[in-house]
Structure 1
Amino acid sequence: MPTHYQAASEPLHFAQRFGLAFRPEASIVRPGEQGLFVRRPRADDTAQDSLARFQIAPGRWGLIPLFSKDGQDLHTHEARGETAFAERNFYQPWKRGHRCVILADAVFQDADIDGHTVRVSRTDGQPLALAGLWNGWRSPAGECVESFALLTFGVPGRPEQRRTAILRDAWIDDWLHCPVEETAAYLRPYSDDKLARHTLPTGSVRAA
């Protein structure tokens, strides 16, 4: 499963894929930390252009369920694509169509070698479009706290391993706007020949 990711830092990627004028900062994002995700504009967000198809939002990586009492829920940064629709932590965002995309230059996963990490990126240098779910949670103080989880799927023959769901570029718009019943159709393995995997000492991982 993903241990952290390197957020996309090129404004051009947000402009090309979403038509968003946005200048991100290079950063490594770990579970529990703030990241950025792209979604359909919220229906109640009057500040957004009514014709806009996409909206970028900051949120905690680690989805806060609506029923959470303190917003400190653990182990919610990953949602299993096979079962998220029925899991207590994720079924409400799933059925509401709260899907999102996280642009990342790379995803980092635990390696089979102790003290090492596997860096996964695209061979063409373009950012990964990671599939996710987002949620808005109301704190006891009345603050709306937004958060997200990355969707993953199992590796055939290796049940102990999971991979982050990566969207094909042509699927991004459909993923964000499709009916809820079509959600699972986009959670498919990304072509291995289009991904580069490099094993690195864990201590060498840093933002570009």
Structure 2
Amino acid sequence: MPTHYQAASEPSHFAQRFGIACDPEGSIVRPGEQGLFVRRPRADGVGQETPPERFQIAAGRWGLIPLFSKDGQDQLTHEARGETASAERNFYQPWKRGHRCVILADCLFQPGDTEDSIVRVSRADGEPLALAGLWNGWRSPAGQCVESFALLTLGAPEQSEQRRTVILRDAWIDDWLHCPVEETAAYLRPYADDKLVREALPVDA
């Protein structure tokens, strides 16, 4: 079962962290589905009806659509490897443009040690996870701007073949979104395990 997440459900989480007013659904989001992400405002002003604030919320497909895509149906772009994304064909354009984003999630579901299990990951203090991502705006053949995003991952310290979604420390969120491109990799670090709750669940749960 692929990684998926439960989107943050409390409007206060967006208001307190970003000063953004929104009414999130808090639904389960799977690869290929629509989700909310927070970024610094687009430099081209698309989607801005008022003077730009420091943060902007957008809705997009979880599965980044590269600029070179012909039909927007590219596969296997919902996760970007933090170690190599800056050089990968699907992700280097958003990386070098500083198109970073944050996805707030109440919890994250990742594959377990066996095929019939998953692991529910949440913060021990009950606050939402701040997941690090890249976003892109793709122009369809019909001229429509389609927003999309990918989650960044790192190899697990104990098992490098396993991937873990990058969770940002609260104090890093603003810097992650606004830092120079050359500082991007500095924020891609494992989150402290003692601040997380990992609960093994059967797949049918």
Tell me if both proteins adopt one fold, taking TM over 0.5 as the criterion. Answer: yes
Answering whether residue 63 of structure 2 is matched by residue 65 of structure 1, we say: no
Name the structure 2 match of 1:77.
Answer: 78
Instruction: Quote the residue 2:36 is aligned against.
Output: 36
Q: Tell me the secondary structure at the aligned position of residue 153 of structure 1.
A: strand
Q: Deviations over 1:26-63 (max 9, x none)?
A: 20000000001000011222634435100000000000
2:199 alignment partner in structure 1: 198
CA-CA distance at 1:156 after TM superposition: 2.8
- Aligned residue in 1 for 2:90: 89
Deviation digits for residues 51-78 of structure 1, max 9, x if unmatched?
5100000000000000001100000000
Q: Which residue of 2 aligns with 1:7?
A: 7
1:117–1:12 Cα change, 3 Å: same
Q: How does 1:104-143 map to 2 (within 5 A)?
A: 104-143=105-144
Matched residue type, 1:131: A
Give 3-state SS (helix, strand or coil) of 2:152's partner. strand
Equivalent position of 1:159 in the other structure = 160
Q: Helix, strand or coil for the counterpart of 2:15?
A: helix
Structure 1: tracts of 5 or more residues without a match: none
Contact 1:2-1:164 within 8 A present in 2 as well:
no
CA distance in 2, matches of 1:157, 1:44: 42
Amino acid corresponding to residue 35 of structure 1 in structure 2:
G
Residue 3 of structure 1: CA displacement? 1.2
The structural deviation recorded for 1:23 is: 1.0
The CA distance in 1 between the partners of 2:155 and 2:117, in whole Å, is: 21
* Aligned twin of 2:22: 22
Report SS of the residue matched to 1:14: helix
1:109-141 deviation line (CA, Å, top 9, x unaligned):
111123211000000000000000000001111
What letter is aligned with 1:95? K
* TM-score, normalised by the number of residues in structure 2: 0.96
Question: One-letter code of the match for 2:25?
Answer: E
Alignment partner of 1:174: what SS?
Answer: helix
- Letter matched to residue 87 of structure 2: A
Aligned-pair distance for 1:179?
A: 0.2
Aligned-partner Cα distance in 2 for 1:58–1:157: 34
Matches of 2:132 and 2:2, distance apart in 1: 13
Residue identity over aligned pairs, in percent, reads: 79
CA contact (8 A) 1:2 1:107 kept: no
Tell me the amino acid that sits aligned with residue 95 of structure 2: W
State the SS of the aligned residue for 1:159.
coil
The range that moved more, 47-56 or 170-179, is: 47-56
The separation in 1 between residues aligned to 2:203 and 2:167, in whole angstroms, is: 23
Partner SS for 1:137: strand
In 1, the alpha carbon distance for the partners of 2:144 and 2:45 equals: 15
For the Cα contact (< 8 Å) 1:60–1:146, is it kept in 2?
yes
- Check whether the contact 2:41–2:52 (CA below 8 A) recurs between aligned residues: no
Q: Say if 1:130 and 1:165, in contact at 8 Å, map to a contact too.
A: yes
Offset of residue 203 of structure 1: 1.5
Give the number of aligned pairs: 204
RMSD of aligned alpha carbons: 1.3
